[in-house]
Amino acid sequence: MRRIRAAAVGAVTLSFALTVAACGGGSSGTEGSNEQPKTLTYWASNQGANLEVDKKVLQPELDKFEKETGIEVKLEVVPWADLLNRILTATTSGQGPDVLNIGNTWSASLQSSGALLPWDAKNFEAIGGKDRFVESALGSTGVQGQDPAAVPLYSMAYALYYNKRMFADAGVEKPPATWEELAETGKKLSGNGKWGLGAEGSNLSNNIHQVFVLAKQHGADFFTPEGKADFTSDGAVAAVRQYVDLMAKDKIVAPGNAEYAQNQSLSDFAKDKTAMVLWQTASATFESQGMSEDEWGVAPAPVQSGEPGPGKATNSMVAGINMAVFKNTKNIDGAKKFVRFMTSDEEQVVLNKAYGSIPPVKAAQQDPAFNTPSLTVLRETLATSATALPQVPEESQFETVVGTAVKELFADAAAGRAVTDDSVRAELEKAQQQMPKK
């Protein structure tokens, strides 16, 4: 009879599960509560050389926080490959962390799901006010005109990294400031198995970052002000073409770069195989690959002409990591306290120093640690000439489809097939049609 009872219990459980599942996600509380004021779960993104490094950086700070507030923070460092899927499943099921890191370009997409706590004036007040943060970093926290879905935690920007020795060997005196100069310099540096510029042709996000900036320089945007996809404007086509032409026409990017997706372009750079890369905050990587800091130089990423600045003189996207709170947290006050702690002037210096990034908090930027030549370039780029990626809910689709289009074009270029305005437009047209209809 015991078996029958077990069967009955099982059947009841199952039908119960069915009913509940049919009723949808488990996101019960909408505004968060304070049921569990003593603990927090925190998903950190992988910022250091590996997961263990991250734990070593973060754990002492979390201990400090526990000492101050008595709140224990359970840390999990989530690899980038899993982070977005984990957030998605957490959103669907309502079973997630209390506080988490998100790539700042995901802000608007995640905001639209309604799972993240909106940072209205009251919430910002709880962490010391909105005006503590740098303007450009706040630009990448959600759809404009809505309360931000996250607050900036670490900031990064693109810059041109160049190999000083290779420059000296080729008789190049100063790093290129415009694309034209970049192509010329690149040609001087290419040859004998060496190449002028590195690219990461199969890395979708990187492709997006690069063509987004170029599109800005051509006065184009991938989304209309109303938030509709607009991938095939002349400016967008010109931007994508210009980027792929670095390989197809100027031939300063090695064809092999078309399949790079795991930062092989950075190891090529560290091995003196390529002389330049356009990358965000790459110093830590170069050091981990055995380069010493005086071997490379950092210059602002190129523009079409003149000096970097706003608008058409944009030379970087606003890169970085934001910190968000899940709306249905059971420790809403503790979560805010934790965000306040992590964005405090003192912690911002500690953390950004450890990761080689720039603090998005104005006061923390004043710390001398961020005055090195390379960080100064990044800081100024962020302050004057960086633009946030489109803050639209479809951003992550945009990254996938346009990033793939650029990848396919790189594959064409590497195989020696012609890259023309028409072929670029066709790829972008295809990408645009895959976007959800509105």
Partner 1 sequence: MPDPAVRRPRSPMAAPRSFLWSRRVFLTLLTVFVLLPVYVMISSSLKPLEDVSGKFEWLPSGLTVRPYFDIWETVPLADYFVNSLIVAGAATLCSVTIAVFAAYAVSRYSFRGKRVFTVTVLSTQMFPGILFLLPLFLIYVNIGNATGIALFGSRGGLILTYLTFSLPFSIWMLIGYFDSVPRDLDEAAKVDGCGPLGALFRVIVPAAIPGIVAVAVYAFMTAWGEVLFASVMTNETTRTLAVGLQGYATQNDVYWNQVMAASLVVSLPVVAGFLLLQRYLVTGLTAGAVK
Partner 2 sequence: MTTTAALDAGERTARKNDPGAAPRKRRSGRLRRIALPYLLLFPAILLELLVHLVPMVIGVVVSFKELTQFYIRDWGTAPWAGFDNYAMSLDFDAPVGEALLKSFLTTCLFTVVSVGLCWMLGVAAAVFMQESFRGRGFLRTIFLVPYALPVYAAVITWSFMFQRDNGLVNHVLHDQLGLTASPPFWLIGDNSFIALLVVSVWKGWPFAFLIIMAGLQNIPRDVYEAAALDGAGVWQQVRRITLPALRPVNQVLVLVLFLWTFNDFNTPFVLFGKAAPEAADLISIHIYQSSFQTWNFGTGSAMSVLLLLFLLVVTGVYLWLTSRGRKATDA
| DSSP assignment letter at 72 | E
Residue 49 interface partner, choices partner 2, partner 1, none, CB cut-off 5-8 Å depending on type? partner 1
How far does CA 345 lie from the centroid of its chain?
22
Site for partner 1 contains 266 (CB under 8 A):
yes
Residue closer to partner 1 by CB (options 86, 251) is: 86
Task: Give dist(CA 289, CA 267) in Å, integer.
Answer: 7
Chosen residue from 94, 118, 128, 256 binding partner 1 by CB under 8 A? 94
Q: Which runs of E-coded beta strand occur in 379-419? A: 386-387
Collapse the DSSP code of 213 into the 3-class scheme (helix H, G, I; strand E, B; otherwise coil) and give the result.
Answer: helix
Residue 12 interface partner, choices partner 2, partner 1, none, CB cut-off 5-8 Å depending on type? none
Residue closer to partner 1 by CB (options 285, 314) is: 285
Do 110 and 85 contact (CB within 8 A), yes or no?
no
Closest CA to 198 of 389, 190, 296, 214: 190
Which residues are registered as beta bridge partners of 12? none
Binding site residues, partner 2, CB under 8 A: 3-4, 7, 10-11, 14, 17-18, 21-25, 27, 85, 88, 91-92, 94, 109-110, 112-115, 201-202, 204, 254-256, 258-259, 261, 393, 396-397, 400-401, 403-404, 407-408, 410-411, 414-415, 430, 433-434, 436
54 membership: H or E segment, kind and range = helix 51-69
Residue 210 interface partner, choices partner 2, partner 1, none, CB cut-off 5-8 Å depending on type? none
| Least distance to partner 2, CB of residue 35, Å | 20
Do 44 and 99 contact (CB within 8 A), yes or no?
no
Q: Which two tokens stand for residue 160?
A: 């041109």
Task: Give dist(CA 274, CA 269) in Å, integer.
Answer: 5
CA angle 388, 413, 218 (to 5 degrees): 35
Residue closer to partner 1 by CB (options 27, 217) is: 27
Site for partner 1 contains 36 (CB under 8 A):
no
Residue closer to partner 1 by CB (options 210, 280) is: 280
Do 240 and 405 contact (CB within 8 A), yes or no?
yes
| Least distance to partner 1, CB of residue 186, Å | 22
Show Cβ contacts of residue 220 under 8 Å, excluding neighbours closer than 6 positions. Answer: 233, 234, 235, 236, 238, 239
Chosen residue from 82, 293, 421, 422 binding partner 1 by CB under 8 A? 82
Site for partner 1 contains 371 (CB under 8 A):
no
Site for partner 1 contains 13 (CB under 8 A):
yes
Site for partner 1 contains 77 (CB under 8 A):
yes
**Rg of the chain on CA atoms, in Å:** 23
Chosen residue from 8, 29, 52, 433 binding partner 1 by CB under 8 A? 52
Site for partner 1 contains 307 (CB under 8 A):
no
Q: Which two tokens stand for residue 343?
A: 């964005």
The arrangement of strands across the sheet holding 195-198 comes to 195-198, 274-280, 158-163, 296-299
Amino acid at 218: H
Collapse the DSSP code of 426 into the 3-class scheme (helix H, G, I; strand E, B; otherwise coil) and give the result.
Answer: helix
Residue 284 interface partner, choices partner 2, partner 1, none, CB cut-off 5-8 Å depending on type? partner 1
Task: Give dist(CA 174, CA 422) in Å, integer.
Answer: 36
Residue 397 interface partner, choices partner 2, partner 1, none, CB cut-off 5-8 Å depending on type? partner 2
Residue 80 interface partner, choices partner 2, partner 1, none, CB cut-off 5-8 Å depending on type? partner 1
Site for partner 1 contains 85 (CB under 8 A):
yes
Residue closer to partner 1 by CB (options 95, 376) is: 95
Segment lying near partner 1 (by CB under 8 A), choices 29-37, 194-202, 283-291, 362-370: 283-291
Contacts with partner 1 by CB under 8 A lie at 13, 16-17, 20-21, 25-26, 46-52, 76-82, 85-86, 89, 92-95, 262-264, 266-267, 271, 284-285, 288-290
